[in-house]
Amino acid sequence: MTDVATASTPALVAFDLDDTLAPSKSLMPEPMARALRALLDVVPVCVISGGQILQFRDQVLAHLGATDDELTRLHLMPTCGTRYYTYDPGQGEAGSPAGADWRLVYANDLTPEQVAEGFRVVEDAARELGLWEEQTWGPILEDRGSQITFSALGQHAPLEAKKAWDPTGEKKGALRDAVAALLPALEVRSGGSTSVDITLKGVDKAYGILRLSEVTGIALTDMLFIGDRLDPEGNDYPVKALGVPCHAVSDWRDTAAYVTDLAARIASARAGDSWGPRD
Ligand SMILES: [Mg+2]
């Protein structure tokens, strides 16, 4: 009976962030936080997103209200898992961008040489194309560790100025193409309204989930992934293509309802079992 029950329950549940746990760039609502706490009581949980760790802190951690015990089962994978954080009270780094008790387990960053070359190539290409602006708000080029970001008007440009800069996407596209041709070893993508992002090649959510499987020893087929963009064009699709069991949601309300049921289901399946690794 125990075998049947454990076979139907995941050993780890992984989530996309934006539009899955919270509205895009917004705080995680309390009903979602409550459902996530209930899930953390019964199974390890991972949150993986293309966003930075600060986004995890502001959108999720600040509103989660979880206990230390619950947080020790939470795995954070910002920038598609090129960085990996776990909760380790007393062992975290002072000044960690995730918060005091979070430990950076690994960071798969661009090398200093890749960053220096990237900065040079992007600036040269932007000047050549007439896209190196004089009036800017904050730095145009930013080293984000695992990613270089070019923001035509600077990091802190007002939304209106950003929208007006390249409404057709033509300027960004031209810069992307020019830079991609000069940096064949790296991935160059059009980012937000005025930005071009440079990352290591082959980094998407599948990359992060594979790393998670390596570090936790949990098989891909024993995981469950929940995301809002599991369609073939979506940024969650690479996880599905890996063969991880997936559940598609439309928004955080949908997620909260599903997770509340899932937590109850796992709790009842585990009733009588002691907490711990399966097998
Ligand atoms: Mg999403």
24 Cα to the center of ligand 1, angstroms: 8
Lowest average pLDDT, out of 33-47, 168-182, 220-234, 259-273, goes to: 259-273
Higher pLDDT: 8 or 90? It is 90
Do the domain assignments include residue 71? Answer: yes
Q: What is the residue whose two structure tokens read 């020019």?
A: 178
Domain containing residue 127: CATH number: 3.30.1240.20
Residues with Cβ within 5 Å of ion ligand 1? 16, 18-19, 228
Q: How confident is the model at residue 89 (pLDDT cuts 50, 70, 90)?
A: confident
Do the domain assignments include residue 259? Answer: yes
The stretch 63-72 carries a mean pLDDT of 96
Residue 188 sits in the same domain as residue 249: no
Residue 61 sits in the same domain as residue 40: yes
211 Cα to the center of ligand 1, angstroms: 20
190 Cα to the center of ligand 1, angstroms: 18
Domain holding 10, by residue range, is 2-82+203-270
Q: How confident is the model at residue 4 (pLDDT cuts 50, 70, 90)?
A: very low
Residue 212 sits in the same domain as residue 167: no
pLDDT value at position 272?
64
Residue 31 sits in the same domain as residue 73: yes
Residue 245 sits in the same domain as residue 220: yes
pLDDT value at position 92?
67
* CA 7 to each of CA 27, 54, 167: distance values in angstroms, whole numbers, following the listed order: 34, 36, 51
Domain end call among 180, 200, 220: 200
165 Cα to the center of ligand 1, angstroms: 26
Domain end call among 185, 200, 215: 200
Does 102 score more than 80 pLDDT?
Answer: yes
Domain containing residue 58: CATH number: 3.40.50.1000
35 Cα to the center of ligand 1, angstroms: 18
63 Cα to the center of ligand 1, angstroms: 18
Do the domain assignments include residue 87? Answer: no
Residue 193 sits in the same domain as residue 231: no
Which structure tokens are listed for 222?
Answer: 């024993």
Residue 191 sits in the same domain as residue 123: yes
Q: What are phi and psi of 60, to 5 degrees?
A: -110, -60
pLDDT value at position 68?
94
Do the domain assignments include residue 179? Answer: yes
The stretch 72-91 carries a mean pLDDT of 92
Task: Provide the 10 A C-beta neighbour count for residue 124.
Answer: 14
Q: What are phi and psi of 138, to 5 degrees?
A: 85, 175
Q: How many structural domains comprise the chain?
A: 2
22 Cα to the center of ligand 1, angstroms: 9
- Give the largest Cα separation in the chain, rounded: 69
Torsion-angle region of 25 (φ positive above 0: left; ψ -120 to 50: alpha; else: beta): left
Residue 121 sits in the same domain as residue 167: yes
Does 101 score more than 80 pLDDT?
Answer: yes
Do the domain assignments include residue 97? Answer: no
19 Cα to the center of ligand 1, angstroms: 5
Residue 207 sits in the same domain as residue 75: yes
51 Cα to the center of ligand 1, angstroms: 10
Domain end call among 177, 200, 223: 200
227 Cα to the center of ligand 1, angstroms: 6
Does 243 score more than 80 pLDDT?
Answer: yes
46 Cα to the center of ligand 1, angstroms: 14
228 Cα to the center of ligand 1, angstroms: 5
Q: How confident is the model at residue 176 (pLDDT cuts 50, 70, 90)?
A: very high
The rounded mean pLDDT for the chain is: 91
8 A C-beta contact, residue 14 and residue 47: yes
Do the domain assignments include residue 103? Answer: no
Do the domain assignments include residue 88? Answer: no
Residue 207 sits in the same domain as residue 196: no
pLDDT value at position 132?
97
Residues above pLDDT 70, as percent of the chain: 93
Residue 136 sits in the same domain as residue 153: yes
Q: What is the residue whose two structure tokens read 């984000």?
A: 144
Please tell me the chain's helix, strand, coil percentages from 3-state DSSP, rounded to the nearest 5. Answer: 40, 20, 40
- Size (the chain), residues: 279
Higher pLDDT: 270 or 222? It is 222
Q: What is the residue whose two structure tokens read 């979070």?
A: 102
Do the domain assignments include residue 277? Answer: no
Q: How confident is the model at residue 275 (pLDDT cuts 50, 70, 90)?
A: low
251 Cα to the center of ligand 1, angstroms: 9
Interval 117-127: pLDDT, tens: 999 999 999 99
17 Cα to the center of ligand 1, angstroms: 6
